[in-house]
Structure 1
Amino acid sequence: MLKSAADAKDIVLFVDETDRTPPSQLFWNVLIVDDDPDVHEATRLALDNVKIEGRPLRFLHARSEAEAMDILHSAKDTIPVALIDVVMERSDSGLRLVKHIRDELGLDTLQIILRTGQPGYAPELETIETYNINDYRTKSNLTRTRLCTSLIVAIRSYNQLRHLETNKRGFEKIVSASTHLNGLRSLSQFADGVIAQICALLEVPENGFTTVVGVDGALVDPLVISGTGRFEGYAGQNLADLKNDVIREQIEICIRNKANQLGPLTCFVFRASNDVCLATCVDTPRCDHEIDHRVIEAFCASVTVGFENVLLNGKLQRLAYRDHLTDLPNRNGFERIIDDYLANETDGRLALVDIDDFASINAALDQHYGDDVLRAIAGRLLDVLGRSVSLGRISGDCFGVIGPEDAVRPDMIDDLFTEPIVVNNEPLRLSATSGFVSLRQSSGSGMQLLKDANIALKQAKLENRGKALVFSENLRTQADARINMLSGLRSAFTSQRLFLAYQPQVTMSDGRLVGLEALLRWRDAHGSFIPPDQFIPLAEKSGLINPIGDWVLRVACDQLRAFLDAGHHQTRMAVNVSHVQFREPGFVETVAEVLSETGVPAKYLEIELTESVAVENTDMIVSRLQDLRSLGVSIALDDFGTGYSSLSVLKDLPLDKLKIDRSFIRDLHSHETATNVADLIVAFGKKMGLELIAEGVETPDQIEILRSMGCEVAQGFYYSRPLEAAQLFKWLEARQEDAT
Structure 2
Amino acid sequence: MSTLLPKDELLQFAADQPAPSANKPLRSWPVLVVDDDDEVHAATRYTLTGLTLLGRPLELVHALSASEARAILAQRQDFAVALLDVVMETEDAGLALVAHIRNTLALTEMRIILRTGQPGYAPELAVFTDYDINDYRTKDELTRTRLITALMAALRSYDQIRTIAENRRGLELIVRAVSCLMETHAISQFAEGVLTQLTALLKLSLDGIVCAQRGTPDGEDMQRLFVVGAAGRLARFIARPLDQLEDQQIRLAIENTMAQGQHQFDARHTTLFLGGADQDAAVYINTVQPLGNGDQQLLEVFAANITACFSNVRHVEQLNFAAYHDALTHLSNRSHFILQLDAATRQGMVDPVVMLLDIDHFADINDALGHDVGNALLVAVAARLDSRQLPDCTVARIGADVFGVLGPAGLLNAQGIFSLMARPFEVGEHLLPVTVTLGECPISRDDTGFVLLKRATIALNLAKRNLHGKHERFTREMEADTRWRQEVIRQLRHDFHAGKLVVWYQPQIDMASGRAVGVEALLRWPDGSGFVHPPTVFIPLAEYSGLIVEIGDWVMQQACLAYHQLIAIEGAPRRIAVNVSMPQFRAGGLTERIATLLGSLRVPANALELEITESIAMDEPKVVVSSLQALRALGVRIAIDDFGTGYSSLSQLKDLPIDCLKIDRAFISEIAAGRGGMFAETIIALGKRLGLTTIAEGVETAEQAGFLRALGCGEAQGFHYAEPMPLQDLLAWVQQR
- 1:284-433 correspondence runs (5 A): 290=294, 293=297, 300-345=303-348, 347-383=351-387, 385-424=389-428, 427-433=431-437
Mean Cα deviation higher: 539-548 or 315-324: 315-324
Could you tell me which amino acid in structure 1 is paired with residue 588 of structure 2? Answer: P
Tell me the residue number matched to 1:716.
Answer: 718
Instruction: Determine if contact 1:163/1:203 at 8 Å carries over to the other structure.
Output: no
Could you tell me which amino acid in structure 2 is paired with residue 677 of structure 1? Answer: F
Could you tell me which amino acid in structure 2 is paired with residue 171 of structure 1? Answer: V
Provide Cα deviations, 1:66-100, integer angstroms capped at 9, x if missing partner.
xxxxxxxxxxxxxxxxxxxxxxxxxxxxxxxxxxx
Does residue 494 of the first structure (1) align with residue 497 of the second (2)?
yes
SS class of match (2:422): coil
SS class of match (2:722): coil
TM superposition shift of 1:475: 1.9
Pair 1:496–1:163, CA change in 2 (3 A) = farther
Aligned with 1:594 (options 580, 594, 597): 597
Instruction: Determine if contact 1:207/1:231 at 8 Å carries over to the other structure.
Output: no
Provide Cα deviations, 1:425-460, integer angstroms capped at 9, x if missing partner.
7644332221111114x8522222222112222222
Alpha-carbon distance in structure 1 between the residues aligned to 2:249 and 2:692: 95
Does residue 191 of the first structure (1) align with residue 194 of the second (2)?
no
SS class of match (2:684): helix
Pair 1:288–1:379, CA change in 2 (3 A) = closer
- 1:578-727 correspondence runs (5 A): 578-616=581-619, 618=621, 621-670=624-673, 672=675, 675-727=677-729
Alpha-carbon distance in structure 2 between the residues aligned to 1:165 and 1:361: 62
Instruction: Determine if contact 1:390/1:402 at 8 Å carries over to the other structure.
Output: yes
TM superposition shift of 1:517: 0.8
Could you tell me which amino acid in structure 2 is paired with residue 211 of structure 1? Answer: C
Instruction: Determine if contact 2:660/2:693 at 8 Å carries over to the other structure.
Output: yes
Could you tell me which amino acid in structure 1 is paired with residue 463 of structure 2? Answer: A
Query: Which runs of 5 or more structure 1 residues have no equivalent in the other structure?
Result: 1-156
TM superposition shift of 1:705: 1.0
Alpha-carbon distance in structure 1 between the residues aligned to 2:652 and 2:387: 45
Instruction: Determine if contact 1:356/1:466 at 8 Å carries over to the other structure.
Output: no
TM superposition shift of 1:594: 0.9
Alpha-carbon distance in structure 2 between the residues aligned to 1:670 and 1:315: 77
Pair 1:278–1:538, CA change in 2 (3 A) = farther
Tell me the residue number matched to 1:29.
Answer: none
Does residue 437 of the first structure (1) align with residue 458 of the second (2)?
no
Provide Cα deviations, 1:684-705, integer angstroms capped at 9, x if missing partner.
1122222222111111111111
TM superposition shift of 1:407: 1.1
SS class of match (1:501): strand
Instruction: Determine if contact 1:432/1:467 at 8 Å carries over to the other structure.
Output: yes
Pair 1:220–1:168, CA change in 2 (3 A) = same
Mean Cα deviation higher: 487-496 or 522-531: 522-531
Pair 1:708–1:248, CA change in 2 (3 A) = closer
SS class of match (1:638): strand
Tell me the residue number matched to 1:212.
Answer: 212
TM superposition shift of 1:168: 4.6
TM-score normalised by L of structure 2: 0.69
Tell me the residue number matched to 2:77.
Answer: none
Tell me the residue number matched to 1:128.
Answer: none
Instruction: Determine if contact 2:699/2:718 at 8 Å carries over to the other structure.
Output: yes
Mean Cα deviation higher: 400-409 or 528-537: 528-537
Tell me the residue number matched to 2:477.
Answer: 474
SS class of match (1:650): helix
SS class of match (1:329): coil
Instruction: Determine if contact 1:212/1:223 at 8 Å carries over to the other structure.
Output: yes
Alpha-carbon distance in structure 2 between the residues aligned to 1:559 and 1:443: 57
Could you tell me which amino acid in structure 2 is paired with residue 176 of structure 1? Answer: E
Instruction: Determine if contact 2:643/2:664 at 8 Å carries over to the other structure.
Output: yes
SS class of match (2:610): strand
Query: Which runs of 5 or more structure 2 residues have no equivalent in the other structure?
Result: 1-163
Instruction: Determine if contact 1:203/1:287 at 8 Å carries over to the other structure.
Output: no
Tell me the residue number matched to 2:178.
Answer: 171
Could you tell me which amino acid in structure 1 is paired with residue 373 of structure 2? Answer: Y
Tell me the residue number matched to 1:272.
Answer: 276
- 1:54-203 correspondence runs (5 A): 166-177=173-184, 181=185, 186-195=186-195, 202=201
Could you tell me which amino acid in structure 2 is paired with residue 355 of structure 1? Answer: I
TM superposition shift of 1:641: 0.9
TM superposition shift of 1:206: 9.5
Mean Cα deviation higher: 330-339 or 482-491: 330-339
TM superposition shift of 1:345: 3.3
Mean Cα deviation higher: 207-216 or 606-615: 207-216
Pair 1:218–1:619, CA change in 2 (3 A) = closer
Does residue 574 of the first structure (1) align with residue 581 of the second (2)?
no
Could you tell me which amino acid in structure 1 is paired with residue 182 of structure 2? Answer: V
Tell me the residue number matched to 1:236.
Answer: 238
Measured on the aligned residues, the alpha-carbon RMSD in Å equals: 3.6
Tell me the residue number matched to 1:549.
Answer: 552
Pair 1:670–1:384, CA change in 2 (3 A) = farther
Provide Cα deviations, 1:5-40, integer angstroms capped at 9, x if missing partner.
xxxxxxxxxxxxxxxxxxxxxxxxxxxxxxxxxxxx
Alpha-carbon distance in structure 1 between the residues aligned to 2:254 and 2:622: 69
Could you tell me which amino acid in structure 2 is paired with residue 338 of structure 1? Answer: L
Pair 1:724–1:410, CA change in 2 (3 A) = same
TM superposition shift of 1:264: 7.8
TM-score normalised by L of structure 1: 0.69
Alpha-carbon distance in structure 1 between the residues aligned to 2:301 and 2:730: 89
- The number of residue pairs the alignment matches comes to 568
SS class of match (1:403): strand
TM superposition shift of 1:635: 1.6
Could you tell me which amino acid in structure 1 is paired with residue 632 of structure 2? Answer: R
Could you tell me which amino acid in structure 2 is paired with residue 514 of structure 1? Answer: V
Pair 1:428–1:605, CA change in 2 (3 A) = closer
Alpha-carbon distance in structure 2 between the residues aligned to 1:498 and 1:397: 37
Pair 1:358–1:197, CA change in 2 (3 A) = same
Could you tell me which amino acid in structure 1 is paired with residue 484 of structure 2? Answer: A
Aligned identity (percent) is: 37
TM superposition shift of 1:539: 2.1
Could you tell me which amino acid in structure 1 is paired with residue 556 of structure 2? Answer: L
TM superposition shift of 1:549: 0.9
TM superposition shift of 1:729: 2.9
Mean Cα deviation higher: 585-594 or 325-334: 325-334
Alpha-carbon distance in structure 1 between the residues aligned to 2:449 and 2:286: 43
SS class of match (2:522): strand
